[in-house]
Amino acid sequence: MSDTPVAAAPVDVDDERLAYRGVFQRLLVRPEIGAIIGAAAIWAFFWAVATEFGKAGGILPVLAVASTLGIMAVAVSLLMIGGEFDLSSGAATGTLGIVTILLVKDVGELGGAGLSLFIAIPLSLVVALGLGWFNGTMVERTGLPSFIVTLATFFILRGFKLGFSKLIIDNITVGRIDEGHGYDFFVKIFGSTWVRNDHQFEARDAVYTIGILGGIAVLVVAVCELNYLRKERFNPAGLGIFLAGLAGIVAGIAVLHSTDGTGANAAAGVIMAASGIVAFIGLASWRYAPQALEAFSLPSGVPVKVAGGVGLVGAGLLSAWQLDVDSQESVLDLVSGFRWPLVVVGGAFAGFVAVARGVAKISGPDTAENAHGLFRVVTISIASAFSIYAFMFMTTEQGLRAILFGLLILAGFVVLGLASTGAGRTSSTAKSIVQMVIAVSLVALAFFIRGQSGTPKFRSEVFTIVLALAILMVGWALTSARFRTRSDIDGDADKLGSRLAIGGLVAVFVGLAIKLLFTTDAEIAAGIPRAQLRVEFLWFVGVTALATFVLGRTKFGSWIFAVGGNKDAARQIGVPAARTKTQLFMIVSVAAWLVGLLLAFRLNTLQSGTGNGLEFEYIIAAVVGGTFLTGGYGSAFGASIGAVIMAMSKQGIPASRWNSDWRFAFLGAILLAAVIANNFIRTKAEASR
C-alpha cells in the first residue's frame, strides 16, 4: 500500500507520565515485596521476644509447619490468580491421605482393598485429579461462584471422610500407612528426615560467614548496577581500588577472627568499615559515570531539621542512659497516677499522626514520594510492634525507658529523613551531607546499644546490623553525590544487575542453609536440643520453584493471569478460559494429594477431621503473599513467604510464652495489613487513563 510510518519516534510526549522508575520503586510494585518485609519484621519481633527464634532449633520447626501449609498456599495462589477459590482444599488434604490409607488396609468389615502402596498412591492421585476436575467443571458449567460450589464440595468431603472411615474400619482415626506394601520405598520420598545433630561440619561457621558477607556484597553491587548510569568506557584504576577495598575487608575479618582482644577487634572494625567505603567508591569510579559537582546549597529549614533530628536522637540516648543510672522510682512516681492514660493517649496520637502522614504520602501522585511514604509506614509499623511489646511490660521501669527511647530515636530519624529529602531537592551534595549525619547517628546508636544492653543478642547482632547499615549509608551517600543515577532503561545493565541480585540471594541462602543443617563439636558438647528438617521442606521449595516458573515463564502462566485479570478479554483473544480454570482446580487437588501423603507418612495415622478449616489459612497465606482476592495478580513465591509468616505466628506465640489463644487475633491483624498493602499496589498497577 504505502510505506510504513516512522519507526521508533523520539520519546513520545504521551510518555511524560511514565518516568523511569528507580530500583526501589520498581521493587515496591512486586507482589511479594510486602510479604518479604512483613516476614522480616515478624521474625525480628519474635527474635526479640523469644530466645528460640534466633536458633536452628527454633527455625526448623517453623519451616516444618510452613511446608505443608506452603505447598497448598502456592497451589491456592495460582487458583486465586486465576480468579477462583477452593474452599474444599483443606478437607481435600485429609481426604486424599485417608483414601490412600484405606486403599492400603486389608482389615475391616468390608474387607478393605489391601493394595500395595505402589498401586494405592497412583490411584489416589487419580481420585485427586477427578476431584479437581469435578470442582472446575461444576464452576465452569454452572457459572456459579466457585465459593459456593467448593463450599458444597467441602461438606461432601467432610461427610465422606467421616462416613467411609466409620463404615470401613469403624474408627475416626485411620491408620496405619506403614502396614502397606512398599512403605520402605515411599517413606524415603514422603517421610524422610534430616537430623541436624547427626551431621557435623566443623567449617560451618566459616562457610556461613563467607556466604552471608559475599552474598550481601554481590547484592550491593547489583543495586549499584541497577541504579547508576554506566560509563562509556570503564576505568581500570577504579577496579584496582575496588579490589583493594575488598582485600581490606577480608584482612579485617581475618584480624577479627585471629584475635580476642578488645583493641584488636575495634581496629578490625575500623579497617573493615574504611575498606568497605573504599571498595564502594572504587566500584563506582570503575563502572559509573560521574556527575559534575553541584553547587552546595541548603534550603532554609534543613539545618533546623538536622539539628532537631540530632537533638532528638541525642535526647533519646541520654534519657535511656540517665534512666538507667539514676534512681528509677522517681520517674515512675512522677507519672504513676496517670501513667496509663498518658501512655495510651500519647502513643495512639503519635501512631495515628505518623501513619496518617505516611498514607497521605502514599496516595500522592509522585512515585518517589510514594516509596518514602510506604517505607515510613513500614518502619512505623515495625517500631509500633516493638512499642506494643514494651508497653506490655509497663509495670517495670524498662518499659518506660524503652518507649521514651524508642519514640525519641524514631522521631529523630524521621526528622533527619525529612531533612535529607528536603536537601535533595536543591543539591545532591547537601543530601549526601545530611545522609552522613544520619550515618553518624546510627553509629552512635549502635555503640549505645552495645554498651547498654546485657544480652548477647543486642550486644553483638543488633550492634552489627546497625553498624553495617551506617557503613552502607556512608558509601551510598558518597557515591550518589558523585555519580549519576540512571534515568532510562539499559537492558545489559538491568540483566547483569538482576542476575547478580539472584546470585547474591543464593549465596546468602546457601550460607543460612549450611548454618541450619549442620552442627559442630562445640555445639554438641554444649548440649543443643535435637532439631530436624523433614523432606516436606524440599517438596515445598520444589513446588514453589515449579509454580514460579509456570507463572512467569510458560504460556499456561500467562493464561492464568489473563483469566483472572479479564476473563472476557482473554477468551476473546483465544485463551481457553474454561480449560485453564479447570486445570487450576486440578492443580490444587493434586497439591492436596501431595500434602495428604506427606501428612500420612509423617503421622502414620490420620484423623477424619484432618485439614478441615485449613482452607482459609491457605487463602490468608496467599493474600499475605500479595495475591489479590479479586484475581489477576499475585505470586507463588509470595504465597510461600505468606506461609512462612503464618508458621512463624503459629510457632512464635507459644515460643514467646504468650497464650496461644491470641494466635487468631494476630493472624487477623496480619491479614488486614496485607490486604491494605495489596490494595495500594493494585491502585498503583492499575493507575489508568
Long-range contacts of 204-208 (CB under 8 A, 24+ apart): 204/514, 204/515, 204/518, 204/519, 204/520, 205/515, 205/520, 207/511, 207/514, 208/511, 208/512, 208/514, 208/515
- Name residue, grid cell 514494651: 390
Of residues 18 and 526, the one with the C-beta less far from other proteins: 18
CB nearer to other proteins: pick between 199 and 553: 553
Q: Which amino acid is at 35?
A: A
SS3 533: strand
Question: What is the closest distance, in whole angstroms, from the C-beta atom of residue 134 to other proteins in the complex?
Answer: 25
Among 191, 399, 632, 652, interactor with other proteins by CB under 8 A = 632
Query: Which residue, 261 or 365, is less far from other proteins as judged by CB?
Result: 365
Q: Does 526 bind other proteins (CB under 8 A)?
A: no
CA dist 613 and 113 (Å) reads 29
Interacting residue with other proteins among 575, 614, 621, 643 (CB under 8 A): 575
DSSP character string of 401-426: HHHHHHHHHHHHHHHHHHHHHHHHHH
Q: Tell me if residue 118 falls in helix, strand or coil.
A: helix
DSSP readout, 457-524? IIIIIIHHHHHHHHHHHHHHHHHHHHBPBP-S--HHHHHHHHHHHHHHHHHHHHHHHHHHH-B-HHHH
Q: Residue 322: what are its φ and ψ, rounded to 5°?
A: -65, -45
Shortest Å distance, C-beta 687 to other proteins: 6
Q: Closest approach of Cβ 486 to other proteins, in Å?
A: 13
**SS3 labels along 451-467:** HHCCCHHHHHHHHHHHH
Closest separation in Å from C-beta 677 to other proteins: 16
The letter for the amino acid at 215 is: G
Stretch that binds other proteins, among 82-90, 199-207, 565-573, 637-645 (CB under 8 A): 565-573
Residue 237 beta carbon to other proteins: minimum distance, rounded to whole angstroms: 34
- Residue 603, judged by CB atoms within 10 A of its CB (0-12, 13-18, 19+), counts as middle
Chain residues 124-153 in contact with other proteins, contact rule CB under 8 A: none
Three-state secondary-structure class, residue 534: strand
User: Using alpha carbons only, how large is the chain's radius of gyration in Å?
Assistant: 28
Q: Residue 82 Cβ, how far from other proteins at the closest point, in Å?
A: 12
Which amino acid is located at 613 in the chain? G
Min CB(168)–other proteins separation in Å: 37
Taking CA atoms, 507 is separated from 40, 57, 547, 603, 689, in Å, by 18, 22, 22, 34, 43
Asked if 12 interacts with other proteins (CB under 8 A), we say yes
CB 370 within 8 A of CB 355: no
Q: Are 656 and 51 in contact (CB under 8 A)?
A: no
The rounded Cα 432 to chain-centroid distance in angstroms is 30
C-alpha to C-alpha distance for 315 and 161, rounded to whole angstroms: 64
* Chain residues 488-517 in contact with other proteins, contact rule CB under 8 A: 488-489
Task: Determine, following the binding rule CB under 8 A, whether residue 365 of this chain makes contact with other proteins.
Answer: no
Q: Which is nearer to other proteins, 9 or 325 (CB)?
A: 9
Of the pair 284, 586, the CB lying nearest other proteins is at 586
- Which one, 8 or 325, has the nearer CB to other proteins? 8
Out of 350, 571, 612, 660, point to the residue binding other proteins (CB under 8 A): 571
Single out the residue of 18, 292, 295, 334 in contact with other proteins (rule: CB under 8 A). 18
Of 141, 199, 257, 553, which one interacts with other proteins (CB under 8 A)?
553
Chain residues 450-489 in contact with other proteins, contact rule CB under 8 A:
488-489
Nearer to other proteins, 16 or 260 (CB): 16
Cβ proximity to other proteins: between 242 and 559 the closer is 559
Among 5, 236, 337, 341, binds other proteins (CB under 8 A): 5
Q: Which stretch binds other proteins (CB under 8 A): 8-16, 206-214, 335-343, 536-544?
A: 8-16
Cis peptide before 657 (omega within 30 of 0): no
Angle at 585 (CA atoms; ends 86, 116), nearest 5 degrees: 105
CB of 18 to other proteins, least distance (A): 6
Q: Is 574 one of the binding residues for other proteins (CB under 8 A)? A: yes
Q: Does 7 bind other proteins (CB under 8 A)?
A: yes
Site membership for other proteins, residue 15 (CB under 8 A): yes
The answer to whether residue 425 forms part of the interface with other proteins (CB under 8 A) is no
Helix, strand counts (H, E) of the chain: 27, 4
User: Which residue stretch of 37-45, 145-153, 557-565, 670-678 sits at the interface with other proteins (rule: CB under 8 A)?
Assistant: 557-565
Select the span of 84-92, 282-290, 569-577, 668-676 touching other proteins (CB under 8 A): 569-577
Amino acid at 533: L
555 counts as binding other proteins under rule CB under 8 A:
yes
Q: Is 689 in the site for other proteins (CB under 8 A)?
A: yes
CB of 83 to other proteins, least distance (A): 11
Question: Smallest distance from the beta carbon of 72 to other proteins, in angstroms?
Answer: 23
The backbone torsions φ and ψ at residue 355, rounded to the nearest 5 degrees and listed phi first, read: -65, -40
* Cβ 17 to other proteins shortest distance, Å: 8
Q: Is 549 in the site for other proteins (CB under 8 A)?
A: yes
Return the residue of 405, 483, 633, 637 that touches other proteins, per CB under 8 A. Answer: 633
Q: Considering the complex, state which of residue 346 and residue 576 has its C-beta at the smaller distance from other proteins.
A: 576
Instruction: Tell me the C-alpha distance between 243 and 247, whole Å.
Output: 6
Which CB sits closer to other proteins, 307 or 569? 569
CB closer to other proteins out of 423 and 639: 639
251's CB contacts (< 8 A; 6+ apart) are: 271, 275
Q: Under the criterion CB under 8 A, does residue 186 sit at the interface with other proteins? A: no
The yes or no reply on residue 334 touching other proteins (CB under 8 A) is: no
- Select from 115, 219, 570, 643 the one that contacts other proteins (CB under 8 A): 570
The least CB distance from residue 80 to other proteins, in Å, is 13
Q: Which CA distances in Å does 360 have to 115, 301, 369?
A: 64, 22, 10
Rounded distance, CA 272 to CA 69, Å? 42
DSSP string, 217-258: HHHHHHHHHHHBPBPSS--HHHHHHHHHHHHHHHHHHHHHHH
Is 363 a binder of other proteins (CB under 8 A)?
A: no
Nearest residue (CB) to other proteins, 14 versus 232: 14
Report d(CA 431, CA 425) in Å as an integer: 8
* Residue in 573, 657, 659, 661 binding other proteins, rule: CB under 8 A: 573
**CB nearer other proteins, residue 209 or residue 558:** 558
| Residue 620 · residue 123 · CB < 8 Å | no
Choose between 198 and 686: whose C-beta lies nearer to other proteins: 686
Q: Which of residues 659-688 bind other proteins (CB under 8 A)?
A: 682, 685-688
Site residue total, other proteins (CB under 8 A):
45
User: What are the residues binding other proteins (CB under 8 A)?
Assistant: 1-9, 11-12, 14-15, 17-18, 20, 488-489, 549, 553-555, 557-559, 561-562, 565-566, 568-575, 632-633, 682, 685-689
